[in-house]
Amino acid sequence: MNAVYSLTMEERDSILNQLSEEQRVFLADTLKRSRRTVFARHMAARKGARIPETATYEEIEHLLEDWIYVGYIDAGVRSTDLKCECGASLRYQHHVENKKDGRVLKLGIKHLEEHTLIDAKIVSQIIKGFDVLDQEQFEILVKYRDGWQLSDYFTLPLPDGFEVPKDIAGHLELGLPLLDRQVARLQESLRKFRDSRPPSTFEPAGHALPAMDALHAASQPTLSLNTDDDDPQLSFDLFDMEQPQTVPDRPADHTYPVPGLSSSLQAAVRHYLLQGIRSARVLSELLIQHHHADDSRYITEKPHIYPLVSMYIDRIMAEEGICRLVSRDHEDRLYELTDPEGDSL
Ligand SMILES: [Zn+2]
């Protein structure tokens, strides 16, 4: 626990009462979503799936067959009205649902193991994950109380054309402070954004060879954040990131260039994408779990089929106009369906 952000329950409630209704709803929704994601992530890990940080619970829950987290009630105080399955009084009542038979259990988190029979090790990871989320809510509240300002961390306004990550924008729109980890991520995104622009914009001095600059700029017309086709980085991302740079040849058991996915796996990718799964990593885990795809992995834990899945989506589905790449990093590639109605949102 980070002592800097510790609060008693009374202090927490008193700060919560100073927030607007909209801010309180946002924090409660975020906490519920985050708990659901933490729960699903640990349940999926139990079956060997490795899920990237950006995956949503909607995606991860496709990998689960039994318990999912569906919500909680905070009575404010320990209440005799709010009970665990075993009858114990609770302040927090957590709700889990069994996907197989639809059974919903309402319980105290300490009894998660005995009422659901989920493995003790997984339960302890879930509880630790929930503690981190509680701690993050404290962090927001303490910072709010202490008058946290974005301008203490960043030169405002943020540069033109820079897109603030969605979760961070949510906090800022409602006047809520950012978590330390969000500040770090925003700093990193800004650094990448600045690096991706022509150097002359930021470093007018110090270039002895302006002609080289012009050449450099002209030779890299696609060096922007949202290149989504004919990306010179693509083959590097997909095939080279997993291999040490010094290895001259591919290992013999990797047949590159790839023939691609089997037609049944292609159909499965198509099916899940149309159902709203955005993450190529999650799609790969679904193919392994539900469609007998090869489950061998790189040392980074990415499945070997991940580059094949990405390539199929990029070269076939994106080309068909079904979806488009919206973000990519060393962890994952995220896609978005192209709206058939043509709405921009
Ligand atoms: Zn109980």
Distance CA 267, CA 290 (A): 13
Q: Is the pLDDT of residue 211 over 50?
A: no
Distance CA 1, CA 95 (A): 25
Q: Report which of 159, 152, 150 is spatially closest to residue 178, judged by C-alpha positions.
A: 150
Tokens 């010179």 -> residue: 232
Provide the angle, in degrees to the nearest 10, between the axes of the packed helices 166-173 and 180-195. Answer: 120
Lowest-confidence segment of 81-85, 118-122, 144-148, 248-252 by average pLDDT:
248-252
Helix (H, G, I), strand (E, B) or coil at 97: strand
Contact (CB, 8 A) for 145 and 152? no
Q: Which of 155-159, 208-212, 230-234 has the highest mean pLDDT?
A: 155-159
What tokens were used for 39? 């729960």
Q: Is the pLDDT of residue 88 over 80?
A: yes
What tokens were used for 34? 């985050």
Q: Break the chain into its structural domains and give their ranges.
A: 3-145, 150-195, 234-337
- Cα 8 to ligand 1 centroid, rounded to whole Å: 25
Q: Report which of 343, 323, 345 is spatially closest to residue 335, judged by C-alpha positions.
A: 323
Residue 3's pLDDT band, with cuts at 50, 70 and 90, is: low
- Cα 60 to ligand 1 centroid, rounded to whole Å: 27
Task: Give the number of other Cβ atoms within 10 Å of residue 230's Cβ.
Answer: 7
Contact (CB, 8 A) for 279 and 329? no
Please name every residue paired with 83 in a beta bridge, in sequence order, or none if there are none: 89
- Per-residue pLDDT of 261-307, as tens digits, reads 888 899 899 999 998 899 999 999 999 988 999 989 988 889 999 99
- Cα 178 to ligand 1 centroid, rounded to whole Å: 35
- Cα 116 to ligand 1 centroid, rounded to whole Å: 10
Side chain identity, residue 248:
P
Predicted local confidence at residue 67, as pLDDT: 96
Angle at 37 between CA 324 and CA 53, to 5 degrees: 55
Q: Sheet with 104-107: list strands edge to edge.
A: 67-83, 89-98, 104-107
Q: Is the pLDDT of residue 123 over 70?
A: yes
Predicted local confidence at residue 259, as pLDDT: 58
Distance CA 330, CA 280 (A): 12
- Cα 89 to ligand 1 centroid, rounded to whole Å: 9
- Cα 87 to ligand 1 centroid, rounded to whole Å: 6
- Per-residue pLDDT of 10-60, as tens digits, reads 899 999 999 999 999 999 999 999 999 999 999 999 888 888 888 999 999
Mean pLDDT value across residues 127-134: 95
Helix (H, G, I), strand (E, B) or coil at 82: strand
Report the mean per-residue pLDDT for the chain: 82
229 versus 197: the higher-pLDDT residue is: 197
Contact (CB, 8 A) for 59 and 279? yes
Distance CA 109, CA 290 (A): 30
Residue 137's pLDDT band, with cuts at 50, 70 and 90, is: very high
- Per-residue pLDDT of 213-258, as tens digits, reads 444 444 443 333 343 444 444 454 455 444 444 444 444 443 334 4
What tokens were used for 84? 């665990």
- Cα 318 to ligand 1 centroid, rounded to whole Å: 49
Residue 172 neighbours by CB under 8 Å, 6+ apart: 150, 164, 178
What tokens were used for 224? 């922007």
- Cα 114 to ligand 1 centroid, rounded to whole Å: 7
- Cα 77 to ligand 1 centroid, rounded to whole Å: 17
What tokens were used for 173? 């729109």
Residue 118's pLDDT band, with cuts at 50, 70 and 90, is: very high
